[in-house]
Amino acid sequence: MNGRSRTSKPSRLLAILLAAAALAVAFSVPTQPATATTVAKMHQVTYDRYSLMVDGQRILLQSAEFHYWRLPSPDLWRDVLEKFKAAGFNAVSTYFDWAYHSPKPGVYDFTGVRDVDRFLRTAEQVGLYVIARPGPYINAETTGGGFPGWLKRVPGRARSSAPGYTQAYQDWLGHIDRLIAPHQLTRGGSVILYNAENEYAVNTDAQYMEDIQAKARADGIEVPITTNDCCDAGSWSSTWASGKGAVQIPGVDDYPQSFECQDAGTTWGPWGEGITEELRDDAPVFAAEYQAGAIDLNDAGYDACRDLTGPAYMKYFYKSNLIASGATMFSYYMGYGGTSWGWLPQPNDVYTSYDYGAAITETRRLTAKYDEFKRQGYFLGAVGPLTKTGTATAPASSNPAVQAQARANPDTSTQFVLVSHTDRASATSESATLDWAAPDGRYTVPVRVDGRDAKVLLAGYDMGGQRLAVSSSELMTHLAVDGRDIALLYGREGEPGTIVLRYPSAPAVKVLEGAVTSSYSSGDLELDYTHSGLARVLITGGGRRPLLLLLGTDATAASFWRADTGDGPVLVRGTSLVRSASVRGNTVDLRADTGKAGDIEVFGPARKLAVNGEPVQVRTTAGGSLLGSLPGPSAVKPPALTGWRTRAEAPEARPGFDDSGWVAADHTTTTIPYEPPTDQSGAAPVLFAEEYGFDHGNVWYRGHFTATGTETAVSTSAITGKRGIYLAWLNGHYLGSAAGGTEADADTHTPRPGPGEFAIPSGLLKPGERAVLSVLVENMGNNDDWTADDNRFKQPRGLFGASITGSAAPIAWKIQGARGGENLADPARGPLNTGGLYGERSGWHLPGYPDGSWRKAAGAVAPGVTWLRTTFRLDLPKGQDTSVALRFGAPGGTGDLPHGYRVLVFLNGWNVGQFSGDIGPQRDFYLQEGLLRHHGANTLALAVISTTDATLPPTTLIPTAPQRGGTTVATVPAPGYR
């Protein structure tokens, strides 16, 4: 978030008042010509001030963000989406990354790992709505914020209605909209919303916002259009809630916990209360991007980011957003972060891993944050009255340190009471009694709130066939199974709990497990207990159908999974995941994972159990569930990485190298809005890499001139983006390296190129002889365009200028980046996989490259570029998900990260990241299955760019928490060496 100023949030009251003349009322989907085959699948999407509606039914939208382009193994998309669904999410939000799909103006690829249609189909099959976010600008810490490198050449300000940009983005939208449109809910798919632009709050152009929406409509987009207004941008400009360019459902982004992961454990809402403002009174409150992790701005590591945004943060801020803001549309950024593989990372804020400290780790493992999403998500999915609420009178608290805030459903009168600390930063544990005027009567309810905790309590709720009068435990879910109700409630370990249920006459209460007392008087059955482990209470008679109450703690509640089948819902305890369930005759069939051997318990409408197609022996418990046991995963021991071979490259540095096939970098003018500096001859050649179609990765330059023998120094400047470097050679002699420049200075198009001053050893250049200056520049990725002013984004990459002191000779430049430039040599792996290293251009990264003549390697490297290659075979246990990472350094590695060199890691030809202490704290590089063959031969190739003599640390293959079950993953097709 470089350069973003964070001011305190201004009141948006004025903006809201101005919105009085609001635009359209509820957006209604145009009627489709119904045919016999399509009519059943078409749905209407509408909304009012309370919620979205599908076919007139209110829904609470619980979405999480996932970028398919950060997981280039399409079979694994299903794994992540099933994990979302299993946590109670009913939607996935995704950006579509223009740069990922378009290597060249007018050229788009939507096949293989870029198969958007497949992604949308998978979401439909899993049963998730989709929030489609095609930009054109997306930010997202991806190169150029989603803008292709070639867009720098297009005249006219990006993110405006300038003609050049308009033509370019309309072409992109035309292509991506065509893929999204058939997947809309209105046409039988699951796309429910369309997000125009991204945090378009500074330097805005209303015509542009209007044009994007007109284009979407012209392309057949029928669902409501939303946008995500930045957190604190209201002070700058439009929220797009009214006026020209307004959208139907404006949303708000909020990151209350900041991106300062190093402050985990000490900071609490440094960026505000996290309230989502109501921007329009005819649309639901939409938390369009609500913080669910963080980028690691200060290299604290993603575990720190996970702590920063952990369960306590989620309880306090998410529940407040529900009750204090009254939001019914949530999208959490990120649900699964993934990997910024290849040259995807935007250089200023991130390194390879985009784990994000999310609920699901980069290696697709579930965390304590996932458990919290599940506890909250199941609640949101189970309690219909939450979809229509207004503010209500809160119970009075006996302790001023404990506050209560309330909402109620105007139709059912159900109340939702948020109990939290009055001072949100307080870390004490407080008790209070609530004097609660509930729909069923007035109750005195004891509550306890730990520091930085928050609870949403219910009153007056028709819970299946039961009536919940009031409760101090939180409801996680309830379901009807076999003619009775099961309700799962929970509280913190050791805290007291009270539930009051209404019965016409005294029911029979049987405590099956745990310590629970009960009493009945005037229609109220009161149960009292201390939350500990899992208590079970069976209540029968009393004029209602039977109820099984499960009273858990945070931990035991999170051990349950709920899945829906055609024959009603099932509740499962004991597995590490339930992906889906179905009922076949008298058998409940589960697709489930286990992280270790143990019990499985199932509440469902059948007496037999099968898991992943295998029958499981079960007995029926006193509580009516099925109980059996399941094996865990097999242990995994990946092979050692041995047999490395090595070869030094960089022939481009040598004077005699044949660069006749390279492009002449001889332009004297450019549409990229930056002025190159003049050199010693008075020329100002345009050396920018994008000028010649080299948009990503490393770029070589060779400057030819006639020597005089009087040269004393070379001055160079290059722009790489943060953490990038460049290296220079003169007539094959290594001059040295320098840090590349980063962002342009604010408000001027004056870049801050990385300066290099290199002395020329006397005698190196001979009078009258040809000489060549070779420069290797690392393009670390393109800046984003958060400020919508071209200033950062259009900053070029590559050599900015070079000048020779002691000479006035002209220099003739040649340039070479990725083989083929924008005409991709390897479309399967795409535009962001390789740059212009000699080895990359020659296929040294590919499987099958004949490296037999290379020397045996001990990991030693010298200044310049050195490659290492090895192969290994895997035969990992079948029927389980084993995530494998490549670790640099000793297993369990601590100690300093190396500096002075950087390593590009290629797995079977795929660039899976860049390792260096100069880049970030990352030691483990995830080798995604699909790119990694779990049964067969694999090739690792490392390209080391070094400014020093060094020895690489040892590398090992590390398995992460294997899970029995998983999904079937096919190898992603991509060519080897030919």
* Interacting residues with ligand IPT (CB under 6 A): 1, 4, 138-141, 198-199, 230-231, 253, 255, 289, 295
Quick one: 101 or 902, whose CB is closer to ligand IPT?
101
The DSSP-derived string for 892-904 is T--SPPP-SEEEE
User: Quick one: DSSP state of residue 558?
Assistant: H
CA distances, 118 to each of 76, 114, 327 (Å): 12, 9, 31
Helix ranges restricted to H, 571-697: none
We find the least distance from the C-beta atom of residue 8 to ligand IPT, in angstroms, to be 15
Active site residue 278: no
How far apart CA 566 and CA 296 sit, in angstroms, is 43
65 among known catalytic residues: no
Smallest separation (angstroms) from ligand IPT to the CB of 73:
23
Eight-class DSSP state of 149: G
Tokens of 525: 């059955």
Residues, the chain: 978
Catalytic residue among 141, 199, 691, 840: 199
CA angle in degrees (0–180, nearest 5) for 852-856-859:
130
**Amino acid identity for residue 709 in this structure:** G
CB of residue 198 vs ligand IPT: minimum separation in angstroms?
5
How many Cβ atoms from other residues are within 10 Å of residue 587's Cβ?
16
* Alpha carbon distances (Å) from 855 to 444, 452, 976: 80, 59, 22
Least distance CB 84 / ligand IPT (angstroms): 18
Dihedral pair phi/psi, residue 104, rounded to 5°: -155, 150
Those residues whose C-beta lies under 8 Å from the C-beta of residue 972, and which sit 6 or more positions away, are 72, 73, 74, 112, 113, 828, 930, 931
Closest separation between CB of residue 520 and ligand IPT, Å? 53
In the bound state with ligand IPT, the residue whose beta carbon lies nearer, of 295 and 903, is 295
Q: Are residues 60 and 380 in contact, defined by beta-carbon separation less than 8 angstroms? A: yes
Neighbours of 715 (CB within 10 A): 16
Compute the least distance from the CB of residue 253 to ligand IPT, in Å: 5
Question: Which one of the listed residues 260, 289, 711, 822 is annotated catalytic?
Answer: 289
Nearer to ligand IPT, 140 or 509 (CB): 140
Q: Using an 8 Å Cβ cutoff, are 477 and 511 in contact?
A: no
Q: Min. distance of Cβ 778 from ligand IPT in angstroms? A: 23
- When the beta carbons of 305 and 457 are compared against ligand IPT, the nearer one is 305
Query: Closest separation between CB of residue 252 and ligand IPT, Å?
Result: 11
Helix ranges (DSSP H) in 114-191: 116-126, 163-180
Nearer to ligand IPT, 98 or 255 (CB): 255
Residue 42: asked if its preceding bond is cis (omega within 30°), the reply is: no
- State how far the Cα of 943 lies from the Cα of 650, in Å rounded to an integer: 11
Angstrom distance (rounded) from CA 788 to CA 773: 37
Whole-number minimum distance, CB 774 to ligand IPT, in Å?
Answer: 37
CA angle 532, 535, 537 (to 5 degrees): 155
What whole-number distance in Å separates Cα of residue 871 and Cα of residue 406?
61
Among 723, 634, 766, 682, smallest CA distance to 901 is for 723
- Find the DSSP H helices in 1-115: 13-18, 74-86, 98-101
What DSSP designation does 315 have? Answer: I
CB closer to ligand IPT, 253 vs 822: 253
Closest approach of Cβ 128 to ligand IPT, in Å?
Answer: 20
d(CA 219, CA 169): 13
Take residue 316 and report the two structure tokens written for it.
Answer: 């306090």
Residue with the two structure tokens 């209500």: 392
Name residue 466's beta-bridge partners.
463
β partners of residue 869? 645, 941
703 and 811 Cβ atoms separated by less than 8 Å: yes
Of 248 and 257, which CB lies nearer to ligand IPT in the complex structure?
257
Name the residue number minimizing CB distance to ligand IPT: 139
Residue the block writes with tokens 């003018």: 669
- Sort strands 598-603 and 577-584 into parallel, antiparallel or unpaired: unpaired
- Do 253 and 231 touch, CB atoms closer than 8 A? yes
Q: Min. distance of Cβ 260 from ligand IPT in angstroms?
A: 13
Q: Measured from the CB atom, is 295 or 419 closer to ligand IPT?
A: 295
> What tokens does 431 get?
């008790």
Residue closer to ligand IPT, measured from CB, 145 or 395? 145
Give the residue among 310, 329, 323 at the shortest CA–CA distance from 249: 329
Positive or negative: CA dihedral 72, 76, 78, 84: negative
**Cα separation, 291 vs 309, whole angstroms:** 8
Q: Cβ 230 to ligand IPT, closest distance in Å?
A: 5
Q: Which residue has the tokens 């010693």?
A: 680
* Among 460, 554, 537, 544, residue whose Cα is nearest residue 503: 544
Measured from the CB atom, is 197 or 711 closer to ligand IPT? 197
Which residue lies nearer to ligand IPT by CB, 192 or 231? 231
Between residues 197 and 554, which has the closer beta carbon with respect to ligand IPT? 197
- Output 276 or 420, the one with its CB closest to ligand IPT: 276
Q: What tokens does 62 get? A: 């619980």
Residue 772 and residue 656: Cα distance in Å, rounded?
9
Q: How far is the CB of 376 from ligand IPT (least distance, A)?
A: 21
Q: Which residues are catalytic?
A: 199, 289
